[in-house]
Amino acid sequence: MSSPRVGVLALQGDTREHLAALREAGVDAIPVRRRDELESVDGLVIPGGESTTMSHLLRDLDLLEPLRARLADGLPAYGACAGMILLASEILDAGAGGREAVPLCAIDMTVRRNAFGRQVDSFEGDLQFVGLDDPVHAVFIRAPWVERTGADVQVLAEAAGHTVAVRQGPMLATAFHPEMTGDCRIHRMFVDIVKGQV
């Protein structure tokens, strides 16, 4: 199989670090801002940032429905932090005033936006992660947590008693930011998922 092409949604947020981590994991990685770019990728990373702003930009750039359609069609996706929020089927504390975060409904889960943020804005910790031998050093920044998972969702990691990483088929999500620590194992895991699909 030829090397897959993986996109990073580049509307806002820390796209550069994800592109670097994907390249390190051995794939062709491109920023995605337009519909033709979205159509050209075999997998998509939705980075951290601000889920309300990203939702607004997705609508403004006419990417919201094309992205929903590709995800419904099984495009593998990995969402980190704000990206996890967007991949959910239900968002609690989604925001107000017409600038709410919109669920892309790719993973059957309910997430609470800024859940850890209400307790402490950011924190770090070492987590056991299903499928990885050594713990992951996880950086949480105004992070969500997962309050409900559907029957087909596998919990991959927990922090402080809350679910913070999940997988459902070709969809992966973490409440933390692996791109910030130079540890590419979660990006590699996602690349393996993408390779299994193309």
Residues that bind ligand GLN (CB under 6 A): 48-51, 81-82, 85, 113-114, 141-142
- Candidates 56, 81, 184, 187; catalytic one: 81
The Cα–Cα gap between 11 and 15 comes to 8
Residue 113 annotated in ligand binding: yes
158 flagged as catalytic: no
Q: Pick between residue 113 and residue 167 the one whose CB is nearest to ligand GLN.
A: 113
Tokens in use for 74? 């099984």
Local structure of residue 27 (DSSP, 8 states) = S
Reply yes or no on whether 179 is catalytic: yes
Q: Which is nearer to ligand GLN, 53 or 149 (CB)?
A: 53
For the chain, the 3-state helix, strand and coil shares in percent, each to the nearest 5, are 30, 30, 40
Q: Is 81 a catalytic residue?
A: yes
Question: Minimum distance between the CB of residue 112 and ligand GLN, rounded to whole angstroms?
Answer: 10
Catalytic residue among 17, 179, 184, 187: 179
The residue (of 100 and 183) whose beta carbon lies closer to ligand GLN is 100
7 annotated as belonging to a binding site for a ligand: no
Give the side-chain half-sphere CA count within 13 A for 149: 20
Look at residues 101, 104, 77, 103 and name the one whose alpha carbon lies nearest to residue 168: 77
CB of 92 to ligand GLN, least distance (A): 11
CA dihedral 180, 169, 193, 110 (to 10 degrees): -10
**Nearer to ligand GLN among residue 4 and residue 172 (C-beta):** 172
The residue among 63, 55, 2, 43 whose CA lies nearest residue 169 is 43
Q: How far is the CB of 15 from ligand GLN (least distance, A)?
A: 12
In degrees, to the nearest 5, what angle opens at C-alpha 140 toward C-alphas 127 and 122? 125
Residue 151 beta carbon to ligand GLN: minimum distance, rounded to whole angstroms: 26
Residue 141 assigned as binding residue? yes
CB 9 within 8 A of CB 22: no
- Show binding-site residues: 49-51, 113, 141-142
Question: Which positions make up the binding site for L-glutamine?
Answer: 49-51, 113, 141-142
What residues are labeled active site? 81, 177, 179
